């Protein structure tokens, strides 16, 4: 096993050989060591790649963005439709790729594309060229490999959350994007398009609840399990391509359908589904977009048989000693204090301080005192479904900063990984957010549990 750099607020810059050796550990599922800033990928950026990165700035406000989409099923189709509907004069669809026939048909219909612009394998689409931007809306385990393939070609990427399935690949992507100066926006749209959430964050950061003590995050429960029956692979899917970096497993329609998030090879259940959204807002409210907690503990219930293997019910706590804040993550509404005017909750965030609380979900903001919500000069009441996409357009045409860059997406996904690992081990663990490793009692087992096997070749497309 490669050794980690010595603990330091500023770890040493790795050599090219060190980075390549560390990146090779992806296939074994071992977490990459923490590298400082954007240095990790610098050694891998060839002159051609650096030129491609500079070429990404060629699109200006006076030209149309040639957009392609990788993954055009449910969410991917909606993302593509939103880009074309909201920015018809700025965006044109030039290609879609999906290993499922249904996804390809959906993308072709939305993009109004000829057969020649529809691909099974996104690698063939990228090799054809003529693409300025790509929307990556694949299952979670494909987010990083697909995004890496794009940014290495100088293509701007809008990638769905959670940014990554493993901490190792998240760090690899964040550092590669920084080293190449790539334009990457993570689809954490709660940062931009939901006024109810933004109002709560502004109130908390303005000190309206007093000294913040506890943040409670309510997430929906998962599925306790379904029988697993091996099925023949239908001709409508390129199953080896769908699996990609994940381990080879027998085919099941449930494995490749919308329930993929119930299987740990591809996701971490509701922890990385709604959890990736709400824990991202926790990071945002705490001003910790480039940091994280120092401790985590958790317990939960897992399916005992069948196809699904992620926790369907859990309780966890994340501790931020520097902020003196505890974050409670639960699937049990009974552990979430009742909020008048918010009955039947399945998800939400509650910020609690010495002067009261502020609750929010995507449609409402409720405070223990209405005056708390007057802070911050917040404007806007209606959900703006184009706001996050507009940030991506502005990144390309005007050089705007991303509101959810790769580093931020990686840090928010890390919280999901921490909760999942603590729940899986039923443990209280120390976490070093600089080195991005567990330390102290139980660290060896926890660091092993944090990583899962990946196929290395898919990270070098």
CATH code of the domain in which 49 resides = 3.40.50.720
pLDDT for position 379: 53
For residue 353, is it within any domain?
no
223 with 254: CB under 8 angstroms?
no
Considering only 14-18, 214-218, 354-358, 429-433, which range has the smallest mean pLDDT? 14-18
pLDDT at 360 over 70: yes
Considering only 18-32, 139-153, 351-365, 401-415, which range has the smallest mean pLDDT? 18-32
Number of domains in the chain: 1
pLDDT for position 12: 35
Tell me what the mean pLDDT of segment 251-259 comes to. 95
Residue 145 structural domain: 16-189+389-405
Nearest Cα to Cα of residue 175 among 154, 214, 199, 148: 148
pLDDT for position 374: 81
- State the Cα–Cα distance between residues 140 and 272, nearest whole angstrom: 9
Q: What is the mean pLDDT of the chain?
A: 88
For residue 457, is it within any domain?
no
Tell me what the mean pLDDT of segment 218-247 comes to. 95
Tell me what the mean pLDDT of segment 114-135 comes to. 98
pLDDT for position 7: 29
pLDDT at 256 over 80: yes
Confidence of residue 377 (pLDDT cuts 50, 70, 90): low
For residue 77, with 0-12 CB atoms within 10 Å meaning exposed, 13-18 middle and 19 or more buried, which class applies? buried
pTM metric for this prediction: 0.88
SS3 state at 67: strand
For residue 233, is it within any domain?
no
Q: What is the pLDDT of residues 180-193, one digit of tens each?
A: 999 999 999 999 99
pLDDT at 58 over 80: no
Q: How many helices (H) and strands (E) does the chain have?
A: 14, 15
For residue 241, is it within any domain?
no
For residue 93, is it within any domain?
yes
pLDDT at 155 over 60: yes
For residue 83, is it within any domain?
yes
For residue 384, is it within any domain?
no
- State the Cα–Cα distance between residues 357 and 363, nearest whole angstrom: 17
The residue among 191 and 56 whose pLDDT is bigger is 191
166 with 451: CB under 8 angstroms?
yes
For residue 288, is it within any domain?
no
What letter would DSSP give residue 275?
H
- State the Cα–Cα distance between residues 39 and 154, nearest whole angstrom: 18
């Amino acid at each position: 096993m490669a050794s980690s750099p010595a603990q330091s607020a500023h770890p040493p810059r790795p050599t090219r050989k060190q980075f390549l050796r560390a990146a090779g550990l992806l296939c074994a599922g071992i977490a990459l060591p923490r590298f400082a800033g954007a240095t990790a990928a610098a050694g891998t950026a060839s002159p051609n790649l650096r030129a491609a990165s500079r070429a990404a700035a060629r699109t200006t406000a006076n030209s149309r963005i040639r957009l392609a989409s990788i993954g055009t099923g449910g969410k991917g189709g909606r993302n593509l439709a939103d880009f074309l509907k909201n920015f018809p004069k700025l965006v044109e669809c030039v290609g879609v790729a999906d290993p499922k026939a249904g996804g390809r048909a959906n993308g072709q219909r939305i993009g109004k594309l000829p057969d020649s612009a529809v691909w099974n394998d996104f690698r063939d689409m990228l090799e054809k060229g003529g693409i300025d931007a790509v929307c990556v809306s694949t299952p979670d385990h494909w987010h990083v490999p697909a995004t890496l393939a794009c940014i290495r070609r100088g293509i701007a990427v809008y990638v769905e959350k959670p940014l990554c399935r493993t901490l190792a690949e998240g760090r690899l992507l964040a550092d590669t994007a920084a080293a190449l100066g790539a334009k990457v926006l993570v689809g954490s749209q709660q940062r931009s398009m939901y006024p109810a959430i933004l109002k709560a964050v502004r109130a908390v950061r303005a000190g309206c609840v007093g000294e913040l003590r506890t943040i409670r995050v309510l997430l929906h429960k998962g599925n306790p399990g379904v029988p697993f029956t091996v099925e023949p692979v239908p001709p409508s899917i390129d199953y080896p391509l769908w699996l990609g970096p994940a381990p080879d497993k027998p085919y099941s329609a449930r494995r490749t359908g919308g329930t993929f998030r119930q299987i740990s090879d591809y996701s971490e259940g509701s922890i990385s589904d709604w959890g990736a959204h709400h824990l991202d807002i926790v990071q945002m409210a705490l001003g910790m977009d480039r940091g994280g907690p120092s401790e985590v503990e958790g317990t939960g219930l897992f399916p005992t048989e069948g196809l699904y293997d992620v926790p369907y019910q859990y309780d966890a706590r994340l501790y931020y000693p520097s902020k003196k804040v505890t974050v409670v993550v639960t699937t049990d509404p009974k552990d979430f204090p009742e909020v008048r005017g918010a009955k039947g909750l399945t998800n939400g965030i509650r910020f609690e301080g010495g002067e009261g609380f502020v609750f929010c979900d995507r449609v409402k903001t409720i405070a223990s005192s209405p005056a708390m919500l007057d802070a911050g000069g917040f404007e806007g009441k209606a959900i703006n479904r184009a706001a996050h996409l507009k940030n991506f357009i502005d990144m390309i045409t005007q050089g705007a900063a991303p509101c959810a860059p790769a580093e931020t997406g990686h840090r928010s996904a890390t919280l999901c990984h921490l909760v999942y690992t603590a729940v899986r081990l039923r443990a209280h663990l120390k976490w070093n957010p600089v080195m991005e490793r567990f330390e102290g009692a139980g660290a060896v087992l926890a660091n092993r549990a944090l990583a899962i096997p990946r196929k290395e070749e898919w990270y070098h497309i």
